[in-house]
């Protein structure tokens, strides 16, 4: 009876476990997953406080999130020959998505100017520019201390799948990779709730970024554990 029960339990658990498994994905080789990832990023990050603050409508907030996802997935897909695999991880069905870049060899983007101008509130055009400049200055400060690092740009879980541990699974996958490569991690959390999640995974506060009356960003970092220390960039 016990073996049969175990087999039945494993058969029941199998599909659920596979839905939560994390796998590396190349957006150039797997456009179907890349398309699902764009939808997840738009659905999740379109609800982000910053997207809602900048956009004139909820649809505009989703468009801003979708544009940022599309631009960066294209960058991940169009890597020079001989580059390492992209840091693009997804759970089954791309219900959870993580996109990061090895810097300075790869450069993330905060989205296209044309899309921002088309969907942002007129009153927030200047605020958006100020925020991006402040965030870029913060990243530059981190880069001066750690010339080579991994920039975690986007982590999203589809709203229907939030609260099931997918975000933590994706984060654990990335932190293990960063430890193996001996690289620090850097990110900008867009809310206190997200900041709390990253603190649970070993990140610490680097700098709070806020301009004017806009919502703050929380720049955070995590140094590698058990691997080689970061190497300084060579000329």
The answer to whether the CB of 95 falls within 8 A of the CB of 19 is: yes
41/63 Cα distance (integer angstroms): 10
Output the pTM of the full model: 0.81
| Residue 103 pLDDT grade (very low, low, confident, very high; cuts 50, 70, 90) | very high
User: Which of the listed CATH numbers 2.102.10.10, 3.40.630.30, 3.40.50.1100, 1.10.10.10 matches domain 33-222?
Assistant: 3.40.630.30
Instruction: Report domain extents, the chain.
Output: 33-222
| Residue 57 pLDDT grade (very low, low, confident, very high; cuts 50, 70, 90) | confident
**How confident is the model over 16-27, as pLDDT tens digits?**
444 568 989 888
Dihedral sign for Cα 146, 147, 148, 149, please.
positive
> Quick one: pLDDT at residue 52?
64
113/111 Cα distance (integer angstroms): 7
Share of the chain above pLDDT 70, in %: 74
**How confident is the model over 171-220, as pLDDT tens digits?**
999 999 999 999 999 999 988 999 999 999 999 999 998 876 767 889 99
């Amino acid at each position: 009876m016990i073996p049969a029960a175990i087999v039945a339990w494993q058969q029941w658990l199998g599909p659920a476990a596979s839905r939560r498994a994390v796998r590396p994905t190349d957006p150039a080789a797997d456009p179907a997953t890349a398309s699902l990832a764009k939808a997840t990023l738009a659905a999740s990050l379109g609800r982000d406080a910053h997207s809602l603050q900048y956009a004139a409508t909820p649809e505009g907030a989703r468009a801003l999130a979708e544009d940022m996802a599309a631009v960066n997935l294209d960058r991940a897909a169009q890597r020079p020959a001989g580059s390492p695999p992209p840091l693009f991880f997804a759970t089954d069905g791309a219900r959870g998505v993580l996109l990061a870049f090895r810097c300075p060899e790869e450069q993330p983007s905060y989205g296209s100017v044309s899309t921002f101008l088309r969907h942002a509130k007129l009153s927030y055009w200047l605020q958006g520019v100020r925020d991006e400049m402040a965030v870029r200055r913060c990243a530059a400060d981190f880069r001066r201390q750690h010339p080579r690092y991994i920039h975690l740009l986007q982590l999203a879980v589809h709203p229907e799948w939030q609260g099931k541990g997918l975000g933590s699974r994706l984060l654990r996958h990335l932190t293990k990779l960063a430890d193996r490569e001996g690289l620090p991690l850097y990110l900008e959390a867009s809310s206190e709730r997200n900041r709390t999640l990253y603190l649970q995974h070993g990140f610490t506060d680097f700098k709070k970024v806020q301009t004017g009356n806009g919502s703050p960003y929380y720049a955070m970092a995590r140094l590698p554990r058990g691997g080689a220390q970061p190497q300084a960039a060579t000329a």
